[in-house]
Amino acid sequence: MGKVVRLAMSVASMLLVLGMVWGVSAVRPIPGGAEHSGLSTIVDGYCEGTTIVNTDLSYGSSNEDLNNGAGLATGEVMGTIGYRQNVLAQNGTTDYVRSLELDTRNATAGNRNLEVQNAISYLANGTGSMVYSEAVALDVYANSTTDSSISCPFGPNPAEVPASHAQVVAGSDMIGVKEVALSTASGATSTAASLDVPVSLTYNFDAQGIPGVGGDALAEGSATVYMTASVEGGNGNSTATGTHIEYNDVTHVDGLFDLAKQMGYSSTSVV
């Protein structure tokens, strides 16, 4: 490996804001139902040899019938939060810590429905390597409504009712390394009782060398970090499109590297 890459980038400009601008109604979160669920896992492990982790999570919700295949009802909001992590570390030393929390109650300011924190270090023994991938995704779709009881509080006309809208956002990474100290943090919100709590997603990635190994503080291998977003908002309670955003961002490094990347999406305010 002859290449040395040092990158630190913030994709804070990816904080997409969809408040109401003269007729474009604010994006609505999905109001929580009468029943709530919580799920949490904490993993703290050390291994000299082979480490395998496979995690898949999907949380879907709707203010109507989630299983209705006939399309969105008037005023319906539905969506899904997804999370995936896969680790295969062989012929090396792995130190792995992860916490995952899912809460389906209405999120409040500063809290998320999904929160995940990861810290993993890996050092190959001879021919060993680690392949790691992680992704968090959010999609929320809404049909327009004429219910003035949930009128949009933003913009010049407070009596305007929420429009139809759609958001599909994801952050992910894939790495193949012989040495790394990796930390990631991700979160997503789709369920909330108030327009003051935005639909949102964050994904933060930081990979570098293991302190005290090799004397260069650089990871060895390759890493690719992605973010994609497709966002569309309607005008008032019509079917006309008022806002459309497409975003794709890929960062790739190969060699000796130090890479940090912060990514986020928020429907009505910065994350």
The pLDDT mean for the chain works out to 83
pTM: 0.85
149 vs 193, residue with greater confidence:
193
58 vs 141, residue with greater confidence:
58
Which pLDDT tens digit goes with each residue over 25-76? 356 888 888 788 999 999 999 999 999 999 999 999 988 888 877 677 888 8
Range 214-239 average pLDDT: 85
What is the pLDDT, as a whole number, of residue 33? 80
When mean pLDDT is compared across 95-99, 232-236, 247-251, the lowest value belongs to: 232-236
What is the pLDDT, as a whole number, of residue 157? 39
Range 97-119 average pLDDT: 95
Range 257-263 average pLDDT: 97
When mean pLDDT is compared across 16-30, 118-132, 161-175, 236-250, the lowest value belongs to: 16-30
3-state helix/strand/coil string of the chain: CCCEEEEEEEEHHHCCCCCCCCCECCCCCECCCCCCCEEEEEEEEEEEEEEEEEEEEEEEEECCCCCCCCCCCCCCEEEEEEEEEEEEEEEEEEEEEEEEEEECCCCCCCCCCEEEEEEEEEEEEEEEEEEEEEEEEEEEEECCCCCHHHCCCCCCCCCCCCCCEEEEEEEEEEEEEEEEEEEEEEEEECECCCCCCCCEEEEEEEEECCCCCCCCCCEEEEEEEEEEEEEEEEECCCCCEEEEEEEEEEEEEEEEEEEEEEEEEECCCCC
